[in-house]
Amino acid sequence: MIRMAHIQGSLANCLLFLLIPVYSMAQNPILPIGTYIADPSAKVWDDGKLYIYGSRDESTDYWCSYDHYVLSTDNMIDWQIHKDAFFSKGPKDQVPYNDKVLYAPDCEKFDEKYYLYYSQPDQNAPEGVAVSDKPEGPFENGVAIDLKGYNQIDPSVFVDDDGEAYYLWGQFTLKMAKLNDDRMSINEETLQDNILTESEHYFHEGGYLTKRNGIYYLVYADISRADMPTCIGYATSKSVFGPYTYGGVIVDSDHCDPDVWNNHGSIIEFKDQWYVLYHRSSHGSSKMRRACIEPITFDTNGNIPEVEMTSQGAGAPLSAFNTIEAERACLLYGNAQLKLHTENNEELTGIRNGDRAAYKYIDFGNGKGGRVEFTVSPGLSAGKIRVNVGKSWHQNIAVVEIPERTEDRKWITVTADLKKVSGIQELWLTFIGSNTEMYSIDSFQFYSR
């Protein structure tokens, strides 16, 4: 499990964090299990750190929550969670005009102040702004933004090379206007709709604008596949207001969960490497989403080749000889899903005959055989796990037998012989048995001879 510091904002906790090192591994999802951050908008501030501003899921019954966390890192490996960043309800409420949940936010820095642009399911005041002296908050004194009748969600702010700031928002069609100097209102005379549309750009929601080598990149939830906005897509222009040309898909989160629905993210350059940030759903729902990261590249024409979802994220392939938690699965097929089973641990459960899970990528080193060990909770009937590398139908390296449950639910260890396999591989697990309640998986690990 990743271990992280939970920054509460008090001086005592900040000093404690300075004294205690934070260790983690670069992998997806980037946060410890039990913390579900969606809609990640990435910014790099003057302190050289990368910050993520996103919504926080807490239930499969509704979207988001009544507070925001802020995440930060200076190396893409060690992450800090800054809690108590912003509240819309309760004793720390900073939204005086309603008590609605908080949807996807963004943040921008102006004149040594940090402005958090938030959104809510409030038809009359769907977006607002709050201010802090620090990038992690707390953000205070939220005020509604007058959207001039275009009342939709998902705000984002972009500052161009000349210092001009632009405000973006909307669903199905993207709206854009210049921000006024107060940073809390938009210039109505510059407001334009249909910057992006569903028909021409597959735009669904969640616009995010950045610039590279004179090209404007609009990144957003893309509905070009499977009639779901599971993709992070992009469009480009030489002018900030467009016209924009559709560029394609950057990453697609389809098959992260049986009930996946949306995606929402951003792209950012950090220490000479570009990344796409996005989220994956879990718990057999469209919610309980987890922030993830993949490195991206640009070709000579400025196009972004599509990348796949991985388990390793911004880091190196996972070692086969360390414990691999089940929740690192980057692809799920069938009914298999990841669910919380303790406060800080998830299991791969809901497994039926023929379901599959993939882990990309796993480093098997120099190719000795040995054994594989799974920690499982048996189900009502016996089953098997077929372990393959390459693809789910390629090289079989082990078959693990799972007994049926003989008593109350408990976790056991099962092992199988491992054939010789070497190098960096994509790992596939295929689940075999009946369609009654099958086993659940907590983790697995390989051992060489």
Domain CATH for 436: 2.60.120.260
pLDDT of 436 higher than 90? no
pLDDT of 89 higher than 80? yes
In the structure, what pLDDT confidence band is assigned to residue 449 with cuts at 50, 70 and 90? Answer: confident
- Tell whether 156 and 197 lie within a shared domain: yes
Q: Is residue 355 part of a domain?
A: yes
Q: What is the mean pLDDT of residues 274-301?
A: 98
Q: What angle do CA 109, 152, 263 make, to 5 degrees?
A: 75
Mention every residue, 6+ apart, whose C-beta is less than 8 A from residue 165. 108, 110, 157, 158, 159, 178, 179, 183
Q: Is residue 20 part of a domain?
A: yes
Q: Is residue 429 part of a domain?
A: yes
Mention every residue, 6+ apart, whose C-beta is less than 8 A from residue 426. 358, 359, 360, 361, 362, 389, 390, 391
- Tell whether 211 and 83 lie within a shared domain: yes
pLDDT digits (tens, 9 = 90+) for 8-65: 444 344 333 333 234 355 799 999 889 999 999 999 999 999 999 999 999 999 999 9
In the structure, what pLDDT confidence band is assigned to residue 68 with cuts at 50, 70 and 90? Answer: very high
- Tell whether 135 and 32 lie within a shared domain: yes
- Tell whether 342 and 274 lie within a shared domain: no
Host domain of residue 420: 318-448
d(CA 81, CA 70): 6
Query: Is residue 205 a contact partner of residue 221, using CB atoms and an 8 Å limit?
Result: yes
d(CA 219, CA 207): 6
Residue 25, pLDDT score: 59
Please state the pTM of the whole predicted model: 0.93
Mention every residue, 6+ apart, whose C-beta is less than 8 A from residue 5. 17, 20, 22, 80, 81
Q: How many CB atoms lie within 10 A of CB 300?
A: 5
Query: Is residue 439 a contact partner of residue 377, using CB atoms and an 8 Å limit?
Result: yes
Which of the residue ranges 101-115, 156-170, 402-416 would you say has the lowest mean pLDDT? 402-416
- Tell whether 215 and 341 lie within a shared domain: no
SS3 content of the chain, % helix, strand, coil (to 5): 5, 45, 50
- Tell whether 272 and 400 lie within a shared domain: no
Q: Is residue 303 part of a domain?
A: no
Instruction: Count the domains in the chain.
Output: 2
- Domain end residue (candidates: 240, 264, 296): 296
pLDDT digits (tens, 9 = 90+) for 200-245: 999 999 999 999 999 999 999 999 999 999 999 999 999 999 999 9
Q: What is the mean pLDDT of residues 423-433?
A: 97
Residue 212, pLDDT score: 98
Q: Is residue 310 part of a domain?
A: no
Q: How many CB atoms lie within 10 A of CB 96?
A: 11
d(CA 28, CA 276): 12
Q: What is the mean pLDDT of residues 185-204?
A: 98
- Tell whether 228 and 102 lie within a shared domain: yes
- Tell whether 124 and 156 lie within a shared domain: yes
Q: Is residue 307 part of a domain?
A: no
d(CA 39, CA 220): 10
Q: What percent of the chain has pLDDT over 90?
A: 88
The half-sphere exposure of 156 on its side-chain side, counting CA atoms within 13 A, is 30
359: helix, coil or strand?
strand
- Tell whether 273 and 394 lie within a shared domain: no
| DSSP class of 26 | -
- Tell whether 356 and 388 lie within a shared domain: yes
Residue 380, pLDDT score: 87
pLDDT of 433 higher than 80? yes
Residue 16, pLDDT score: 34
- Domain end residue (candidates: 231, 264, 296): 296
Q: Is residue 30 part of a domain?
A: yes
- Domain end residue (candidates: 296, 328, 363): 296
Mention every residue, 6+ apart, whose C-beta is less than 8 A from residue 17. 5, 7, 80
pLDDT of 344 higher than 90? no
pLDDT of 357 higher than 80? yes
Query: Is residue 134 a contact partner of residue 80, using CB atoms and an 8 Å limit?
Result: no
d(CA 403, CA 412): 10
Which of the residue ranges 91-105, 229-243, 388-402 would you say has the lowest mean pLDDT? 388-402
Backbone angles phi, psi at 144, to 5 degrees: -75, 150
With CA atoms as reference, report the closest residue to 317 among 252, 389, 218, 386.
Answer: 389
Which of 436 and 254 is assigned the larger pLDDT?
Answer: 254
Q: Is residue 411 part of a domain?
A: yes
CATH number of the domain bearing residue 287: 2.115.10.20
Place of tokens 């989160």: 253
Q: How many CB atoms lie within 10 A of CB 84?
A: 18
- Tell whether 261 and 149 lie within a shared domain: yes
Residue 257, pLDDT score: 98
Mean residue pLDDT across the chain: 93
With CA atoms as reference, report the closest residue to 207 among 255, 259, 256, 242.
Answer: 242
Structure tokens at 83: 């809690």
- Tell whether 151 and 41 lie within a shared domain: yes
For residue 65, the one-letter residue type is S
